[in-house]
Amino acid sequence: MFLRGEDIALLGVARPLNPEAMQPAGIDLSVWEVEVLDGRGVLGVSERVVPQGKPLEPASGWWELEPGHYRIRFKEIVSIPRGYVGLCFPRSSLLRMGAVLYCAVWDPGYRGRGQALLQVLNPGGLKLEKGARVAQLVVAPVWGPVSGYTGMYQGEGIGSS
């Protein structure tokens, strides 16, 4: 069983919440920051290095993105309640424009402004407005005893405007 958008809003999962963001099966998330990865990532058994990013500044509120990959941060602060899991998917409009969004599972207890990887496949690029809704967060219950998320990304981006 998945929660409806209004159920998710009542749980306080995404803040600030645009009323238009409430969908029948989830809540839309909007893009707030775009950056180009700068450096090598390292993912080992006991070592993890997340590459830095070079922020791209929007011109008059718009990014002109050439084909390639970009790390984005969402505007909404997401708080996944214990007992639930968040699943993030690209909005179909983004897919129809030749871009894909890769998101990870958001564990019970996670709180922050999540990130995703945006890949622009369209040879003509993508013009993307700051605040545009690019993803949909779907929340579902987790069965059995659940401990809360305490990983390195807890609270990420909350200090960002």
User: For 40-62, how does the pLDDT look when each residue is reduced to its tens digit (9 = 90+)?
Assistant: 998 999 998 989 999 999 999 99
Q: Which structural domain, as residue segments, surrounds residue 25?
A: 5-39+53-141
Provide the pLDDT for residue 153. Answer: 76
Q: Is the pLDDT of residue 160 over 80?
A: no
Residue 147 domain-assigned (yes or no): no
Contact criterion met (CB below 8 Å) for 8 and 26: yes
In the block, residue with structure tokens 């987790």: 142
Residue 19 domain-assigned (yes or no): yes
| Greater pLDDT, 150 or 36 | 36
Q: Is the pLDDT of residue 104 over 70?
A: yes
Burial class (CB in 10 A: 0-12, 13-18, 19+), 67: middle
Cβ neighbours of residue 75 closer than 8 Å, sequence gap 6 or more: 16, 29, 30, 31, 32, 113, 131
In the block, residue with structure tokens 């609270």: 155
Domain at 25, CATH number: 2.70.40.10
Dist. CA 137–CA 157, nearest whole Å:
17
Mean pLDDT of the chain: 89
Provide the pLDDT for residue 64. Answer: 98
- Count structural domains, the chain: 1
Residue 151 domain-assigned (yes or no): no
Residue 75 domain-assigned (yes or no): yes
